[in-house]
Chains A and B, each alone.
Chain A
Amino acid sequence: MQILIIAGFVSLFIFLYIGTMYLNDRVKVPESCKEAYLEAQSCETCNRVSDPKSCTFKNTLEFLKEVKL
């Protein structure tokens, strides 16, 4: 019985998320906010370089490949 309650709740939450995501996708970003929106989405922690002169994760991997042990 408890398994059914859990499955019901989790399904409800998933549908809630999908529903809100769908609705949110249907409302377009206002034209006047597009630039600010794109700028805000440029969070570069995972695919960074804030400073192009510094070493990126990709550069480090390539460097490691070149190093012969």
Chain B
Amino acid sequence: MSLLAILISAMLINNIVLMQFLGLCSFFGVSTKMKSVVGMGLAVIVVILLSTIITYPLYKYVLVPLDIQYIDTIAFILVIASLVQLTELIIKRFSESLYKSLGVYLPLIASNCAVLGVALTNVATPHTYIEALTFALGSGLGFALIIITFAAIRIRLNSVSVPKALKGMPIALVTAGLMALAFMGLAGMI
């Protein structure tokens, strides 16, 4: 599969949020303001890419040769959490403007299952390193695209009359379900 196909597939067809239901906590929790979702989307792209840069070689060149690949989940959780802490520290220390726009969302991503899900999917599928990075970029872009679109819909929903029983989270869940159905229409494109 070409790199472009992997990118499009990860971004639209096998979208981590709508098709694999990963990262739903931040998807629903942060998608109330447009400013927040842009920062969150960027932060997720950066963290997914950084975690793939570390976790893929860790699995292929350390865990597999030692025949302890079954500890991948716990190893990846700890490595990703450490990586997020380290990234936050560096951004906080050296760039206030970057920290304000992107770094403030990093604590929310430390335990985001989308990041772990991408790392685990990458090692479970026969991807090369470049393909794994492309897949990670596509997944991050897919998350950003969906969360921004979803926030735009939620903002519009605030100005319409919604039955009381559906106000807030219920209508958000219905909206996410309809979006997932729409994206299912792309299945089989590649």
Contact = CB atoms under 8 A, between A and B. Distances in A.
Given A43-B29, A46-B25, A33 B75 contact: no
Interface string A32-55: 110011011101111011110111
Given A27-B92, A30-B92, A43-B29, A54 B81 contact: no
A24 B85 contact: yes
Given A5-B66, A36-B100, A45-B29, A16 B78 contact: yes
Contacts of B172: 50
Interface residues of B, number: 40
Chain B interface mostly helix, strand, loop or mixed? helix
Interface in B51-71: 66-68, 71
Given A23-B89, A36-B100, A16 B68 contact: no
B71 A6 contact: yes
Contacts, number: 104
Interface stretch (B6-14, B103-111, B119-127): B103-111
Contacts of A14: 78
A53 B165 CA distance: 10
A2 B28 contact: no
Interface of A: 2, 5-6, 9-10, 13-14, 16-17, 19-21, 23-24, 27, 29-30, 32-33, 36-37, 39-41, 43-46, 48-51, 53-55
